[in-house]
Structure 1
Amino acid sequence: MARNQIDELRALQDTLYFIGGKWRLPIINSICNGNKRFREIERSIPGITRRMLSKELKDMEMSKLVQRNVYTDTPVLIEYEPTEHCRSFGKIIQEMINWGKHHREIVVRGKS
C-alpha cells in the first residue's frame, strides 16, 4: 500500500507543533505526574516563568490538552488535569525519554 507523504508530513508537522517549544513537554510531564495547581507545576519546572506557564496552559487548554477546573470555595482553587487526548501521548513521551537516555549513553559514553 502506497503511503501518502503529504498526509504524513502534515501529521508530523501537527505533532511537532504540539510538542514544540521549550516548555510544552515539561508541562505535560508535570501535570501527568500529579502536579495540578499552578504553583506545583511552576515549582516542578526549573526556569519557567509565571508568564510563560500561564501562556502555555492557556494554549494547551484551547488545544484540548489540559482541562482547567475552577472550584469556587474560599479561596478559589484552580487545578489543571490532562485530557484523555493528552494522555494518549504518554507512551510517545516515554519512548522519547528512553530514546534520549540511550542517545546520551552513545554520545557521552561512546557506547553503540
Structure 2
Amino acid sequence: MSATHLNVPVPVPADGDCAIRDICEFVGNKWSVLVVILLGQRVYRFNELHRSIEGISQRMLTLTLRKLARDGLVTRTPYATVPPRVDYQLTDLGRTLLEPLTALNTWAETHQSVIRAARRHHDATETPSGS
C-alpha cells in the first residue's frame, strides 16, 4: 500500500508552508491545547488561566498566548483600568478547534486504559538494548 493510496500527498513539504506540520506542532504543544480548551468555556484573565493550568509557568503561558494570538486563534483585549486588566478569548477561528480537540480528547479517554496496558506489555517484554 502506498502513501498515495490514502490520498496523502507525497512528499510532504519540508518548508513552512505545510498545514499538517503546523497542526502537529500545535497539537504536540500541550499548553496550547489546554489554553484553547479553557478559553472554549469562557473569557479568562491571565492570572485565571495561570491558576487553572497546573504546571505552566507565567513565561510559558505568555509565550503560548502570544503564539495563539499570532495564529489568529485568541484575542487579547486590554482595559485601561487600575490595576490593568487583560481578557483573553477564542476567536471564531479558535472556536473551530474545539470540535476536533474534543474528539481527540474523547478518543484519548476511551483508549487510555488499552494504551497503558499495551505500554506495560511492551515494557515487560522488551529486550534491553545491547543484549
Q: TM-score, normalised by structure 1?
A: 0.83
Letter in 1 for 2:45: R
Partner of residue 19, structure 1? 27
> How far apart are residue 34 of structure 1 and its match?
2.1
Letter in 2 for 1:101: E
Secondary structure at the counterpart of residue 46 of structure 1: coil
Letter in 1 for 2:88: Y
Give the length in aligned residue pairs.
Answer: 109
Q: How does 1:1-112 map to 2 (within 5 A)?
A: 3=7, 5-6=9-10, 10-108=18-116
The unaligned stretches of length 5 or more in structure 1 are none
> How far apart are residue 72 of structure 1 and its match?
1.0
CA distance in 2, matches of 1:107, 1:54: 33
> How far apart are residue 4 of structure 1 and its match?
5.8
Highest Rg: 1 or 2? 2
71-80 or 15-24: bigger deviation = 15-24
Secondary structure at the counterpart of residue 79 of structure 1: strand
Q: Percent identity?
A: 26
What do residues 16-75 of structure 1 show as CA deviations (whole Å, max 9, x unaligned)?
123232311011112212251011101111000001101111111111110000111222
Shift in alpha-carbon separation, 1:7–1:77, aligned structure 2, 3 A: farther
Letter in 2 for 1:57: L
The unaligned stretches of length 5 or more in structure 2 are 119-131
Q: TM-score, normalised by structure 2?
A: 0.72
59-68 or 7-16: bigger deviation = 7-16
